[in-house]
Structure 1
Amino acid sequence: MGLARIWATILMTPCAYFWGRKWNLLDLVTAAMFVSIHILCLFAPFYLSWTGFFLALVLGNTTAMAVTLSYHRNLAHRSFRLPKFLEYFFAYIAVLSGHGSPIEWVSTHRHHHQYTDTEKDAHSPLKGFWFSHMGWILDSNRRFGRYGGLRNVDDLKRQSFYKFLHHTFLLHSFILGVILYAVGGFPFIVWGMGVRMVAVYHGSLAVNSAGHTWGYQAWNTGDLSKNLWWLGVLADGEGWHNNHHAFEYSARLGLEWWQIDTTWYFIKFLEVLGLATEVKQPSEAQKKRKALEAKTTIASHEISYGD
């Protein structure tokens, strides 16, 4: 048994029981990290400064967009292609968000699309709003055991860079914290790690919870995904979630001109520079076909109810 497998076994072995379930070491470490960064936020009023605010703003927007651009649209859905050096660069910036490794994130998201809003969905609000927002992250045995672990990300597991990030992702955030402390002391930790990570976490996690609870459906996707305008603005375009579930291959989620999608704007900029290629988005014919399928489904339901 290799060292990595031994370490994984240690992390996943139940070691505590409270709140009606078993907790392993990974769950406890994850919970401790969440609590720690939220506690750091409590110090923000005492270290209030424009420098700290702009640090959180710039670093937060950078790492948040890296998650949507790299983890989500590039790696999970292959909505566009990048040169390897740029693909790895954006993936590394996304690691600094604290959202876990690319392998784990992409695996969970692909399973989410495979089993959307069913018992096997990792974070459906069918199990409660809190569960879909944060609770699912704190139950790794259920999360990985429900659909058999990391079996749908062989494309990433074949690459040494992603395997390295998978085993060291916490280390990189720690290094960033050390650098911030060396440059600006404890105030930079409060704003650059605490405030920034809490804002990015809840903005991203709201796509799983609010994005499947509130808003409207432009497409009949057979799930609870919604388009939510304020989430579209706050989450770099991810809030147009019903659009995404209708056309999950699309690099563009804000399909209407008025649907703000800052990640798409950046992808388009990379395409103009010749750095993003094979950029996918639904054609008008595909949209009409999807709309026709929806009308057919609704009509069949009405006939069924009439009988």
Structure 2
Amino acid sequence: MRFNSLQTLPGKPLRLDWVGVVFFTTVHAVALLSPWFFSWSALGIAVFLHWLFGSIGVCLGYHRLLSHRSFKVPRWLEYAIAILGALSLQGGPIFWVAGHRLHHAHTEDEYKDPYSARRGFWWSHILWILYPRAEFFEYERYQRFAPDLARDPFYRWLNRYFLALQIPVGLLLYALGGWSFVIYGMFLRCVILWHTTWFINSVTHLWGYRSFDSNDNSRNLWWAAILTYGEGWHNNHHAYPHVAKCGWRWWEIDMTWWAIRLLKTVGLAKDVNLPPAV
């Protein structure tokens, strides 16, 4: 049976979120102005913030620390890393973690996985956001899938006000380098980070090689791993989701793991889950 990606349940079409369409279109449009505001320092800011908010905030923080608890850090450091994740503009921590845990619990299920790859590339890449389903986007419904975070007043606050954190970032960037820094450090960085993160939902369930016979179509894809600081070794991750290291072979580069290993070396990370002998 052919599956229609714009059905939430048989016979119940999804509705396009026009506020989301306008928001994402606007951010992409402003990012397209970047050639007219180019400077090497602005490009450097974009690259640095892509790493800081992407690798440390999302990959290390939202994903490996909060979603899977693959290692532990002091609470003050956990909160600081979660703020970096919130600055990525990919949603609050409770929203992100709940959705990702559902993805692992029901991988590629057309109805239970928020960004099921079986609905097609564009659904898993972005349409799941533009056609939001209430069970994944309404706080009272999704928070029960991240109860450990929902019980914490700090995470509830961050989940509600993550968008407002962009204001001080924008003001700081403008003070440091004017509109060039704002366009590169916020808009261009945000667009690139969105799509590189979304590639893990889409392309790594379509293309690449499989090291493990996991119960899904997850794949290891080298170029996605480079763009996402190691997250592209997705078949490894789906086979052992609670392992802190996604790149297992010597040539599977995992920059996020390097950061976790550094934290462990200086005594800030403990109980780090390592790959089993396989």
**1:107-118, aligned counterparts within 5 Å?**
107-118=98-109
Structure 1 residue 151 displacement after superposition? 1.2
Contact 2:93-2:158 within 8 A present in 1 as well: yes
CA distance in 2, matches of 1:200, 1:141: 23
1:140 matched to which residue of 2?
132
1:182 matched to which residue of 2?
175
**1:244-263, aligned counterparts within 5 Å?**
244-263=237-256
1:58 matched to which residue of 2?
48
Structure 1 residue 143 displacement after superposition? 5.3
- Report the AA paired with residue 28 of structure 1: W
CA distance in 1, matches of 2:135, 2:181: 34
1:200 matched to which residue of 2?
193
Cα RMSD (Å) = 1.7
Partner-residue secondary structure (3-state), 2:18: helix
2:4 matched to which residue of 1?
none
Q: Scaled by the length of structure 2, what TM-score is found? A: 0.90
2:150 matched to which residue of 1?
157
CA distance in 2, matches of 1:155, 1:36: 35
Runs of 5+ consecutive residues of structure 1 not aligned to the other structure: 1-19, 288-307
Structure 1 residue 194 displacement after superposition? 1.2
Query: Residue 269 of structure 2 is aligned with which of 261, 269, 276?
Result: 276
**1:32-71, aligned counterparts within 5 Å?**
32-65=22-55, 66-71=57-62
Structure 1 residue 30 displacement after superposition? 2.8
CA distance in 2, matches of 1:145, 1:198: 21
1:9 matched to which residue of 2?
none
CA distance in 2, matches of 1:30, 1:85: 33
Structure 1 residue 145 displacement after superposition? 7.4
Deviations 1:227-280 (A, max 9, x none): 001111111100000000000010000011110000001100100101000000
CA distance in 2, matches of 1:158, 1:273: 30
Partner-residue secondary structure (3-state), 2:15: strand
Contact 1:124-1:132 within 8 A present in 2 as well: yes
Contact 1:203-1:235 within 8 A present in 2 as well: yes
Contact 1:137-1:143 within 8 A present in 2 as well: no
Contact 1:37-1:193 within 8 A present in 2 as well: no
1:240 matched to which residue of 2?
233
CA distance in 2, matches of 1:142, 1:219: 34
**1:212-227, aligned counterparts within 5 Å?**
212-227=205-220
Contact 1:63-1:94 within 8 A present in 2 as well: yes
Contact 1:122-1:143 within 8 A present in 2 as well: no
Question: Which protein, 1 or 2, shows the higher relative CO under an 8 Å CA cutoff with sep ≥ 6?
Answer: 2
Deviations 1:169-227 (A, max 9, x none): 11001331232223322212210111101111111110000110110111111201000
Query: Residue 92 of structure 1 is aligned with which of 78, 83, 86?
Result: 83
- Report the AA paired with residue 64 of structure 1: G
CA distance in 2, matches of 1:272, 1:28: 47
Runs of 5+ consecutive residues of structure 2 not aligned to the other structure: 1-12
Q: Scaled by the length of structure 1, what TM-score is found? A: 0.82
CA distance in 1, matches of 2:151, 2:200: 29
CA distance in 1, matches of 2:176, 2:275: 46
Partner-residue secondary structure (3-state), 1:237: coil
CA distance in 2, matches of 1:95, 1:262: 20
Structure 1 residue 21 displacement after superposition? 4.0
CA distance in 2, matches of 1:235, 1:275: 23
Task: Answer with 180-189 or 64-73: which moved more.
Answer: 180-189
Of all paired residues, the percent bearing the same amino acid is 42
CA distance in 2, matches of 1:179, 1:140: 32
Contact 1:123-1:133 within 8 A present in 2 as well: yes
CA distance in 1, matches of 2:96, 2:106: 15
CA distance in 2, matches of 1:30, 1:178: 24
Structure 1 residue 22 displacement after superposition? 2.4
Structure 1 residue 33 displacement after superposition? 2.4
